[in-house]
Amino acid sequence: MYLPLLTLLFVLVSASPHVPLVDQTASDRTFDSRVPVQLGVMSKCPDALLCESTFNEVLGKVGDKMDLSLVYVAKFDESEPDFGGIICKHGAEECAGNVQQLCIAKYASPDQWWNFVQCQNFEGTAQIGKPSVALKCAEAAQIDWNASGAGQCAGEDGSGKEDEGVDLLRKSVRLAHDLEVTKSCTIIINSRRVCVHDGTWKECEGGHTVNDFVRQINDEYDRLNSFRG
Ligand SMILES: *[C@@H]1O[C@H](CO)[C@@H](O)[C@H](O)[C@H]1NC(C)=O
């Protein structure tokens, strides 16, 4: 009476798929969820440069666990004709710098994008947004300005005034509004605002050193991928 049932049970148990114990190494991080990290910035803002330089070091330590992006803080003002009704705090050249960075983010690799931003920053806040600097930094980051698509997006002359790039800027500024990011620089790790640098570090409950950000990203990474046991 019980035999067929026991047999069936045995068959089911032995047929159940063997679940391998995954040895978590860097190489299988490809399958993991990376931690989204956003920096709310303005391209010509000294606070943004400071955050970006801090995150250059963070990337060196946990770059393979995170997806970094920049979100641009600016104001909507429909009377501004050149940048689709966007006013940038540090002037039109800042809007141009934002557009150049957004277009590079869209049309180049993440590494090239980051090298491009670092190159502009290295030139200094007074230079960021200038067409000649954008073209020079694209070359330094090994991006073909025209062939990559970045040129059509941000203007082949580097002006940052082409429709596609201006549209990316409007969307990014809208996102910053939606995230209630008003200060450059605001650091958001996995949708949580963890720190602001506005003249000085502010509201940084978990700390503001490179290692503090690394720790918070590691913690979020482990939480996001905890199904692996
Ligand atoms: C991109 O194309 C424009 C228009 O054809 C040209 O004037 C410019 O020199 C090119 N720029 C680069 C960096 O290749």
Domain locations in the chain?
33-73+181-229, 92-177
Averaged pLDDT, 141-146? 98
Q: Which pLDDT score is estimated for 16?
A: 42
Smallest CA-to-CA distance from 185 within 36, 35, 52 is with: 52
Residues 136 and 81: beta-carbon distance below 8 Å: no
Answer whether 145 contacts ligand 1 (Cβ < 6 A): yes
Q: Which pLDDT score is estimated for 79?
A: 85
Cα-to-centroid distance, 121 and ligand 1 (Å): 23
Cα-to-centroid distance, 173 and ligand 1 (Å): 28
Cα-to-centroid distance, 156 and ligand 1 (Å): 6
Does the predicted TM-score (pTM) go above 0.95? no
Answer whether 151 contacts ligand 1 (Cβ < 6 A): yes
Mean pLDDT of the chain: 90
The region that residue 108 occupies, defined by phi over 0 for left and psi between -120 and 50 for alpha, beta otherwise, is: beta
Per-residue pLDDT band at 82 (split at 50, 70, 90): confident
Q: Which atom in ligand 1 lies closest to the alpha carbon of residue 146?
A: 1
Cα-to-centroid distance, 115 and ligand 1 (Å): 21
Averaged pLDDT, 158-182? 97
**CATH entry 3.40.30.10 includes domain 33-73+181-229:** yes
Per-residue pLDDT band at 25 (split at 50, 70, 90): low
Q: Which pLDDT score is estimated for 21?
A: 45
Q: Which pLDDT score is estimated for 12?
A: 43
